[in-house]
Amino acid sequence: MATVRPRKPLTALARCTRQTSSVNSSVTLRFNSTLQAHAQAKTASTTTLPPLSALPARVLLRSLLVSTISSKRFLLIPALSLMSFLSKPNRIWLFDVDRNPLLHGVLKTTFYNQFCAGENEAECKATIKEMKDMGFSGMILTYAAETVFDHSTQAQSGQGAASLKSEHGNVSIDPSIEAWRKGTVETIYMTDAEDYLAVKLTGGGVKVTEAFAAGDLPPQQMLDALDEVCTKAKERKVRILVDAESQHFQKGISRVAVELMRKFNRDGYSTIYNTYQAYLKSTPATLANHLAVANEDGFTLGLKLVRGAYMATDERSLIHDTKEDTDNAYNSIAQGALRKNIGEFGDKGTRKFPSVNLFLASHNKESVVAAHELHKHRVTSGLSTVPVRFAQLHGMSDEVSHSLLQMNDGDGTPEVYKCSTWGGLGECLAYLLRRAIENRDAVLRTDNEYRALKTEVFRRANVKCEELVGPLGEVPKLGKLVIFRGGSPALALGAQMPTWVLSFNLGPLALGKPIQLRVNAMAAKLRGKSLSQVIGLIGAVGFVLQGYDQAVSNGLLTLGSFIAVFPQIDTVNTSGSQKSHNSTIQGLGVGGFTATIPMYVSESSGAGARGRMVLLEGWFAIGGIVLATWLEFGLFYVSDNSVSWRFPIAFQGLFAITVVACIMLLPESPRWLARVGRLEEAAEVLARLEDVPVDSEHVLQELEIMRQSLILDDNTESAGSSSPFALTKNRHLHRTVIAVGVNILAQMTGVNIITFYSDTIFESDLGYSGTISRIITGCLQIWQFLAAGVAVLLIDRVGRRPLLITAAVGMTIAQACLAGLSSDLGNKSAAGASLLFYFMALFCFPIGLFLVPFMYAAEIAPLRTRAKVTAMAAAANWLFNFVLAEVSPVGFATIKWRYYIVYACISAFACVFFYFFCPETKGRTLEEIDDIFVQSNSVFDTVRIAQELPYQTELLDHVDDTEKGGVGAMQVENA
């Protein structure tokens, strides 16, 4: 047994563990054993590359972009609306995707190339070759022409929406059928042997759809075209999949498909496949009928099975009531066909099972893997089965497709295909829009794909880092600086990027070039800043109402980044109302940033580095202000008044675009993942952030502490309360008051009367010229930037309390001295000396009062209410920023230099508040900070308890692994 140092009394967290261990110890042990088994399995499989490793880098990143949008409703719905707008015919040149080269290029390199094979034969052949090089057996190619019938509106859309009359009068040649024939034949010659051609028969136009709607065969011209298409396909050994379509047409389509199978599916080889939709209640009966016909006429039934794609337009009563029913129907048919037993057909029935070729098209991994394993088992066991192939859509479910490919043991199975469409960008855009709308619910259920893509991006980034700096652990210090390696710094940098955007929001009016806007005198004097502040307040309050459970950090950051692109709209607006509207939109993003970033980085960083990771936000924000200030100083001398304000607004869009690209790569907060029960994912994120294996003792300890903290909150009074004002033993209200109070006092130290009015004061009161005043203002911003850098270096060395108190003391001195020196403006020496205290104030404020209050609010708030508390703190900060900007002109006009004394007194009060009521959080985990408040009996106890309470590392680091026996053993020991 290792020697153990004497311990201080157990913390409240440990006491809670003791009290609840009888209930939770078995759960803990099961959790840890599951997690360790998961980690061991993951470690054992490190020699096998993940399925998505086969994707080229450009395809991987493009897929991540698309899945980011498709997996989030707040991004998908606007994206579909935009596609709908662009897919409309006869658009003006600017919005015509085929005529506008810029729009065409953007859409083609992103969404078109993600889902489509190409616009011509050369592009299609290149795509097919790329797919086969990745291991796919071939390609399913379809021509983007169809008709959709909406049961609810009784309306048709697409190719058959209107009749196209022949130019030859009475000659019975329908141009729609002829166009469909030519396009389909052309598609055949783009494919290779053993590829597939998918056809939508409603692409033949209105005469074809009228016949199908009546359940009849299509016109003879269409039948002749089909015969030609099937003959040419069979000659080239290309198979044809007759796609299922709207139920309004399906009876006629199935009738045609059976006739084609009767003619072309002979000798056990299926050239033609009919599609059966498992979500229809009638599918088993339809399939039984077709099996009977195949038995009687001696042809091979081509059975392509899908779940179904027309739920949005088909009559709802025809469809299974639940997704589970559809899944059961799909698996029953697929596995029945593989066993050669469906209903009355097969060994268990009364009729012989006919010749069947099975084709399973599905994005459901469980279904296709189960089908492949069943097929393989029957083949190796010498049992009778049917040929089977698998397919997924091009650009979707790559993780499913490549997982199937990895199951190939060298016997050529499973055969996996990708289904893609080809045609002009405009044609395919409308086609893809219909596919997306029909599959909208399925598209939204792409979280697993999204996470798999992110994991693969991280893996490749780590591999690249190891190529640059060596294997993990050889150069830990350098490794910690490389993006995605020791992820906390990388995560912090990525999460702080929005602050560059934030800092520019005060920019376009900052240097006072006249702009023709109708604004009131007060707003003109404030130079636009008060509007930005109240807008930031609106955004922060919105997050209070929304809450973290509904708006997870990555989603909010991504949305805020998109919103932040809106400043570019300002470059084409000149009216005050338009600028106000655009600023309101920007403010929603800024409010989301300021309420989210400190919380997100706090939850994702280690206790020893959390302070400097969060304070990077302040450093970046002030850096953006410096950049904006000097950029506008240069533009002040541009003769074109329009350029001087349009360019800074447009310039910030570059940062917003960068943010959008970076945020997709950020993981979710491990504490939020633990909060919602996704413990394995939380462990993986922690392991990645700390550069340790997922089954390491450190990860297990961290995760167990998080779990016990949640148990503690659940076992207190008002258990599980998500109200920041609840009077719980966990002291929700106490923490909320401190978090909000610190942010209010930070603003009420009066720093903004310096930053807002420096130009005016330097010119009117101190007598400097406009140019010199602006240069001094720029120097003040550089000085503030340097001070923020000092704060980053000190925050985890000296702690939060010392910086808060020091900054408040400094602001007290600066404001008092400014009051004295400003009392006699006729004394030029005194006025010049006041510059020293401007610099002093703008050194002290970034040191402890700029971003430390935001971070402190995130640190002291409990996990259950952290989002609301940090948002309330941010809202309070913006509110008093706005109040200060509004009342200061009146204050200076009324009491003149005495106005500085008001803020000197408030700053002195802030010193007292910080000293008596704000406990130190340096070096503590967020769960330890919870413990400080749990043990407090009054508002005056927290500072003392924080000083006396042992650090968690003191309780864990001196005990070796044998004594601890893992986290599960710790739990039993405490019991």
User: pLDDT, tens digit, for every residue of 864-878?
Assistant: 788 888 888 888 888
What CA–CA distances, in Å, run from 481 to 83, 174, 490? 41, 67, 8
In sequence order, what E strands does 29-132 have? 116-118
Q: What is the largest CA-CA distance in the chain?
A: 112
The Cα 897–Cα 820 span in angstroms is 8
Q: Are strands 155-158 and 147-150 parallel, antiparallel or unpaired?
A: antiparallel
In tens, the pLDDT along 525-570 reads: 344 444 444 544 444 444 444 444 433 444 444 444 444 444 444 4
Exposure class string for 864-900: b at 16+ Cβ within 10 A, else e: bbbbbbbbbbbbbbbbbbbbbbeebbebbeeeebebb
Topology annotation, domain 486-666+716-935: Growth Hormone; Chain: A; (1.20.1250)
Token output for 623:
């850096």
Query: What are the Cα distances from residue 519, in Å, to 202, 440, 884?
Result: 59, 45, 19
What's the token pair of residue 755? 């930053």
Q: Rounded to an integer, what distance in angstroms lies between the CA atom of residue 598 and that of residue 610? A: 10
- What pLDDT does 765 receive? 64
Using CA atoms, how far apart are residues 205 and 209, in angstroms rounded to an integer? 6
Q: Is 66 exposed, middle or buried (0-12, 13-18, 19+ CB in 10 A)?
A: buried
Does residue 388 sit in helix, strand or coil? Answer: strand
Q: Is 360 helix (H, G, I), strand (E, B) or coil?
A: strand
- Beta-carbon contacts of 195 under 8 Å, excluding residues fewer than 6 positions away, are 128, 138, 139, 140, 141, 238, 239, 417
Going from N- to C-terminal start, the domains of the chain cover 120-422, 486-666+716-935
Given this model, what pLDDT does residue 473 score? Answer: 38
- Distances in whole angstroms, Cα of residue 29 to Cα of each of 10, 13, 26, 715, 952: 21, 18, 5, 20, 21
Buried b (16+ CB within 10 A) or exposed e, 277-286: bbbbeebbeb
Rounded to an integer, what distance in angstroms lies between the CA atom of residue 167 and that of residue 913?
Answer: 88
Q: Amino acid identity of 106?
A: V
State how far Cα 205 lies from the chain centre: 41
Angle 17-18-23 from CA coordinates, rounded to 5°: 75
CA–CA–CA angle 907, 908, 911 (5° rounding): 90
Q: What is the pLDDT of residue 570?
A: 44
CB atoms within 10 A of CB 589: 29
How is residue 133 annotated by DSSP? H
Q: Which residues contact 431 (CB under 8 A, 6 or more apart)?
A: 144, 145, 146, 421, 423
Inter-axis angle of helices 610-635 and 576-604, to 10 degrees?
150
User: If DSSP codes are grouped into helix, strand and coil, which group holds residue 192?
Assistant: coil
Beta strands 116-118; 415-422: pairing state:
parallel
Contact 422, 190 (CB under 8 A): yes
Residue 545, pLDDT score: 43
| pLDDT score at 312 | 67
Residue 712: partners with Cβ closer than 8 Å, 6 or more residues away = 12, 13, 16, 730, 930, 934
Report residues of the chain scoring pLDDT below 50.
1-31, 41-46, 147-151, 153-171, 469-533, 535-575, 717-720, 954-975
| Contact status, residue 243 vs residue 200, Cβ threshold 8 Å | yes
* Amino acid letter for position 722: S
The whole-number pLDDT of residue 652 equals: 72
Query: If we measure between CA atoms, which residue out of 362, 666, 321 comes closest to residue 488?
Result: 666
Q: What is the signed CA dihedral for 495, 498, 502, 507, rounded to 10 degrees?
A: 140
Q: 195 by DSSP, 3-state: which?
A: coil
Rounded-to-integer distance, Cα 741 and Cα 301, Å: 74
Q: Is the overall model pTM greater than 0.85, yes or no?
A: no
Strand pairing category for 138-143 and 415-422: parallel
Give the per-residue pLDDT at 920.
93
Distance between CA atoms of 141 and 365, rounded to whole angstroms?
22
Q: Please enumerate in sequence order all residues whose Cβ is within 8 A of that of 225, keeping only pairs 6 or more positions apart, or say none.
A: 177, 178, 180, 181, 184, 204
DSSP state of 269: -
The pLDDT score that the predictor gives to residue 329 is 95
What pLDDT, on the 0 to 100 scale, is given for residue 348?
81
Give, for 198, the enclosing helix (H) or strand (E): strand 196-199
User: In the prediction, which pLDDT does 446 show?
Assistant: 66
On whether the 120-422 domain is CATH 3.20.20.70, my answer is no
Interaxial angle between packed helices 12-44 and 966-974, expressed in degrees from 0 to 180 and rounded to the nearest 10: 160
**Residue 196 φ/ψ, nearest 5 degrees:** -120, 150
